[in-house]
């Protein structure tokens, strides 16, 4: 079995806008399975990776739909919990003419926020190699923050790679105010971090000084995105560089970042899947991983929806050939 990739966090329902329809001009929505960590888990599975989702949904119709959807796409759900204490989270996603999104969340509290530190099981981390992936949406409340950090500690104890996608959703935070110290402390625990320049600007006056600080704290690889600009990467003594994304016909950016992260984690898992192997990568190997991730993201935006837009290995490699 290939190296295990476990994505932790929220699985939720994306109600994706169909635009204004009908004589009355009302906006209508179609139900899709979603949630950034769940999307990443599916992205890895679509590429052929050993993908697992860890988190919690409601023991309701939406929760069972999400579990079945993950399994349909090849994601193992042995570490996915269900609860009757809260409902599954919902997100209504509207798109503008360029495919950019705006979100309205129904999540306070939702089942994913009730996952606790002692819900993690040591057996989930028993493999000798692995990647543990988290997003900032599990930092918006104190108890689920502690759960996130507990998962990271389990992963570190197992010598797994810890992956962090900043993925800030400011409207999920109390009063729309991000706890910057909490987010930066979480980022310091990572081996691999992906963030956008816009997100870093929320966290620090000088985004590039923050990158340098994180690298000095032990982060092995920092990947910086900036819309359609080249993807930049920073890896300390292993060097830095950038990868240009191909021009594509953008239909929906919903899963772009998650496809990118899934592609990156798939590559890291295939090339070793432990912290030592990551630290021993050459700059050429790191750049090859990022080029593949860029190809995955570029392919995803040409299709609509989250799971359905994520490329399989053949599609990713075809897109990679265009870079």
Residue 78, judged by CB atoms within 10 A of its CB (0-12, 13-18, 19+), counts as exposed
Q: Is the pLDDT of residue 21 over 70?
A: no
- pLDDT digits over 238-252, tens only? 999 999 988 899 887
Task: Report the pLDDT averaged over residues 41-53.
Answer: 98
- pLDDT digits over 68-114, tens only? 999 999 999 999 999 999 999 998 888 666 666 677 889 878 999 99
* Phi/psi of residue 130, nearest 5 degrees: 180, 165
Lowest mean pLDDT among 252-261, 278-287, 308-317: 252-261
What is the reported pLDDT for 22?
A: 61
What is the number of structural domains in the chain? 1
- Pick 205 or 92 by higher pLDDT: 205
What is the reported pLDDT for 10?
A: 95
- Pick 151 or 32 by higher pLDDT: 151
CATH label of the domain that carries residue 65: 3.40.1190.20
Residue whose tokens read 């962090």: 164
Q: Is the pLDDT of residue 272 over 80?
A: yes
What is the reported pLDDT for 104?
A: 85
pTM equals 0.94
Q: At 298, is the pLDDT very low, low, confident or very high (cuts 50, 70, 90)?
A: very high
What is the reported pLDDT for 98?
A: 66
What is the reported pLDDT for 237?
A: 87
* Phi/psi of residue 252, nearest 5 degrees: -165, 125
- pLDDT digits over 135-160, tens only? 999 999 999 999 999 999 999 999 99
Residue whose tokens read 């599990």: 138
* Integer Cα distance of 139 and 119 in angstroms: 16
Q: Is the pLDDT of residue 282 over 80?
A: yes
* Integer Cα distance of 204 and 135 in angstroms: 18
What is the reported pLDDT for 138?
A: 97
SS3 200: helix
Range(s) of the domain holding residue 242: 4-320
Q: At 19, is the pLDDT very low, low, confident or very high (cuts 50, 70, 90)?
A: confident
- Arithmetic mean of pLDDT over the chain: 93
What is the reported pLDDT for 185?
A: 98
* Integer Cα distance of 213 and 269 in angstroms: 26
Tell me the percentage of the chain whose pLDDT exceeds 90. Answer: 79
Q: Is the pLDDT of residue 58 over 70?
A: yes
């Amino acid at each position: 079995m290939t190296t295990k990739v476990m994505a932790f966090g929220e699985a939720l329902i994306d109600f994706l806008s169909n635009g204004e329809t009908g004589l009355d001009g009302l906006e209508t929505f179609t139900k899709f399975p979603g949630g950034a960590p769940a999307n990443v888990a599916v992205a890895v599975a679509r590429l052929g990776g050993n993908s697992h989702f860890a988190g919690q949904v409601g023991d309701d119709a939406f929760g069972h739909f999400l579990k079945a959807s993950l399994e349909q796409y090849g994601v193992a759900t042995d570490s996915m919990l269900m609860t009757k204490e809260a409902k599954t989270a919902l997100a209504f996603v509207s798109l503008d003419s360029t495919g950019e999104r705006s979100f309205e969340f129904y999540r306070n509290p939702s089942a994913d926020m009730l996952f606790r530190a002692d819900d993690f099981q040591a057996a989930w981390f028993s493999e000798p190699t692995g990647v543990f992936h988290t997003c900032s949406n599990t930092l918006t409340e104190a108890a689920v923050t502690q759960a996130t950090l507990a998962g990271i500690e389990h992963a570190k104890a197992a010598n797994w790679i810890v992956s962090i996608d900043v993925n800030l959703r400011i409207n999920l935070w109390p009063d729309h105010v991000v706890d910057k110290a909490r987010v930066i402390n979480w980022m310091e625990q990572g081996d691999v971090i992906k963030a956008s320049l816009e997100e870093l600007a929320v966290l620090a006056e000088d985004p590039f000084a923050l990158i340098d600080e994180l690298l000095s704290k032990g982060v092995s690889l920092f990947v910086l995105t900036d819309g359609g600009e080249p993807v930049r990467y920073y890896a300390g003594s292993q060097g830095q560089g950038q990868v240009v994304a191909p021009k594509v016909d953008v239909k929906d950016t919903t899963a772009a970042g998650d496809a990118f992260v899934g592609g990156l984690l798939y590559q890291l898992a295939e090339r070793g899947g432990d912290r030592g192997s990551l630290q021993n990568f050459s700059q050429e190997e790191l750049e090859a991983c990022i080029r593949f991730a860029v190809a995955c993201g570029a392919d995803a935006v040409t299709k609509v929806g989250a799971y359905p837009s994520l490329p399989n290995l053949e599609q990713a490699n075809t897109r990679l050939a265009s870079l």
